[in-house]
């Protein structure tokens, strides 16, 4: 369910240059900064969470490139700079409870776990939730809980949330997710009627309703209702 890339993405620097793992990780962090990820807490979290754990098979060698990559169930792991920019826009505090809609590989949830008190993540694909959960246990991320379910309805039993992050595009912010956002809370999500025209937006819940802010063009898989078959 999780996938994302920046709309005007330049592919010139995505070749797999030779070098040690340490050098590739250093270039990885440099690419994040050069594309606008400047928040120190977010950069530290992304340095601590090894993307290589979440990329399997033939694409493992490309884990430290700033590009989306295929994962199970026909989904993708998002472009790291998009993960960083969305996390940065979410403005997560150390006491926050966060809902992530679209577990995907688990990479985004693992980063959020470094910043928040508690992370709940939901995906329509049971296999993805199971595989991500195995990585969370290997990493001893005890503050992340995964659920299989229709993410467009959120997790009402765990609501309300300080922060909500949606990693799939809806035509409009889903009403159940808006309802599960605490007053003063922030939701970040892509919206758009097609995969060609989408905007990453930030929604703030104020005393008198919701405020919407467009951040940048992006491309994400659609937010699909119901459960997957795997």
CATH number of the domain where residue 110 is located: 3.40.50.150
What is the pTM assigned to this prediction? 0.89
Residue 226 domain flag: no
Residue 80 domain flag: yes
> 78 an active-site residue?
yes
CB atoms within 10 A of CB 203: 20
Q: Which residues of the chain have pLDDT under 50?
A: 8-18
List Cβ neighbours of 208 (8 Å cut-off, separation of 6 or more): none
Residue 155 domain flag: yes
Cα 61 to Cα 21, 30, 77, 119, 213, distances in angstroms: 10, 18, 14, 29, 36
pLDDT of residue 230: 65
Question: Catalytic residue among 2, 20, 61, 78, which?
Answer: 78
Residue 194 domain flag: yes
pLDDT of residue 53: 93
Residue 230 domain flag: no
Residue 184 domain flag: yes
Number of domains in the chain: 1
**Structural domain boundaries, residue 53:** 5-9+17-219
33-84 tens-digit pLDDT: 999 999 999 999 999 999 999 998 889 989 999 999 999 888 889 999 999 9
Residue 227 domain flag: no
Residue 208 domain flag: yes
């Amino acid at each position: 369910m999780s996938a994302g890339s920046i709309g005007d993405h330049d592919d010139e620097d995505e070749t797999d240059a030779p070098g040690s793992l340490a050098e590739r990780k250093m270039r990885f962090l440099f690419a994040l900064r050069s594309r606008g990820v400047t928040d120190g807490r977010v950069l530290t979290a992304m340095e601590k969470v090894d993307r290589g754990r979440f990329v399997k098979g033939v694409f493992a060698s490309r884990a430290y490139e700033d590009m989306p990559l295929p994962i199970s169930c026909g989904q993708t792991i998002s472009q790291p700079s998009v993960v960083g920019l969305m996390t940065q826009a979410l403005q997560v505090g150390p006491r926050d409870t966060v809902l992530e809609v679209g577990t995907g590989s688990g990479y985004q949830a693992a980063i959020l776990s470094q910043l928040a008190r508690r992370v709940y993540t939901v995906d329509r694909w049971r296999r993805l939730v199971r595989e991500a959960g195995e990585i969370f246990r290997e990493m001893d991320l005890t503050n992340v809980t995964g659920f299989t379910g229709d993410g467009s309805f959120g997790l009402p039993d765990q609501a309300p949330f300080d922060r909500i992050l949606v990693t799939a595009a809806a035509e409009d912010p889903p009403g159940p997710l808006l309802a599960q956002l605490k007053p003063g809370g922030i939701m970040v999500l892509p919206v758009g009627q097609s995969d060609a025209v989408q905007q990453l937006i930030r929604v703030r819940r104020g005393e008198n309703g919701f405020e919407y802010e467009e951040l940048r063009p992006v491309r994400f898989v659609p937010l699909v209702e119901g459960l997957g078959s795997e």
